[in-house]
Amino acid sequence: MIENLIILFDEIYKVLFLLIPVLVSVAMIVWLDRRVWAFVQKRRGPNVVGPFGLFQSLADALKYIFKEIIIPASANKVIFILAPIVTMTLALISWAVIPFSEEYVLADINVGILYLFAVSSLGVYGIIMGGWASNSKYPFLGSIRSAAQMVSYEVSIGVIIINVLLCVGSLNLKDIVLAQQNLWFVIPLFPMFVIFFISALAETNRPPFDLPEAEAELVAGYQTEYSGMMYAMFWLGEYANILLMCSMGSILFLGGWLSPINLYPFTLIPAPLWLIFKILLLFILFSLVKAIVPRYRYDQLMKLGWKIFLPFSLIWVVITASYLFYFNLLPVN
């Protein structure tokens, strides 16, 4: 009995040790997001609450906590409440398989890629639930847009991942990182990295693909009827997913926790810091795109996904497989 309790508390400790930094990171990247936009647009951004405005996200969080939660009278109350909980929960549990180093990973499973792909695919349900349960046409249309957008670009991301798996021969995320010790996959698979980055923008509803939240057409999309902490849960889930996509890009193409140069003093930097640095680098690129690139039309968004990215990704799978087979480089596991 005591041994079981010790094991239980140990697992709870590991989960909290992962989730608390993720939640804190979400608050910090919101601040970073705003600062990058302000830099590009030549304005100050958050600079009042705390030094350099660092406590602005904390102030916003407190505002959401104390703000009244209003549920529309005609809404399906149970599903309306469940929707943001589902969105945030799925975004957080995805981090269980992300390896921050060769030793530190919460769940080192052999099918880590499939786990991530399955959980991220379920994320669309929270958005559909929120839009439908609101019993309002604008949130509903926003949720339908988002569902179509996420499903479309998940297909492209899945095909892109196949290219990486062909080079590694394993679905384990640690194996994918260790396979890049001599050469990061961003070099031989650079076109796939570019398509992955753009698809990640669409998958997370980031500009220029934030069509579900097109204010001129749909007010605020599937979030229109939400307020207070329930709105904050959608917001947390969205930014946690953005960080997750950045971490996947780092692991699949940028060598994960591996140092770019195995020389002193680079080897003194702990492995998790290298992964965090790469995640921040990709996130800054996400922010720059939002500040620079104008919004697409919805038909352009779908055309890009189905008529350009998907065929090109499939052709690249054939090219990758043919090259590996011809030069006898296919991994044997």
List the pLDDT tens digit at each of the 333 positions of the chain: 666 666 666 667 666 777 788 888 888 888 888 899 888 888 888 888 888 888 888 888 888 888 888 888 888 889 999 999 998 888 888 888 888 888 888 778 888 888 988 888 888 888 888 888 888 888 888 888 888 888 888 888 999 999 999 989 888 899 999 988 888 999 999 999 999 999 999 888 887 887 766 655 656 678 888 888 888 888 888 888 899 999 999 999 998 888 887 766 667 788 888 999 999 999 999 889 888 888 888 888 889 889 999 999 999 999 999 988 888 877 765
The answer for residues whose C-beta is within 8 angstroms of residue 93's C-beta and 6 or more apart is 119
What amino acid occupies position 97?
Answer: V
Domain residue extents for the chain? 67-326
* Per-residue tokens: 5: 């309790």
Return the CA Rg of the chain: 21
Ramachandran class of 305: left when φ > 0, alpha when ψ lies in -120 to 50, beta otherwise = alpha
Closest CA to 177 of 248, 115, 119, 107: 248
Question: How many residues in total does the chain contain?
Answer: 333
Q: How far apart are CA 34 and CA 53, in angstroms?
A: 10
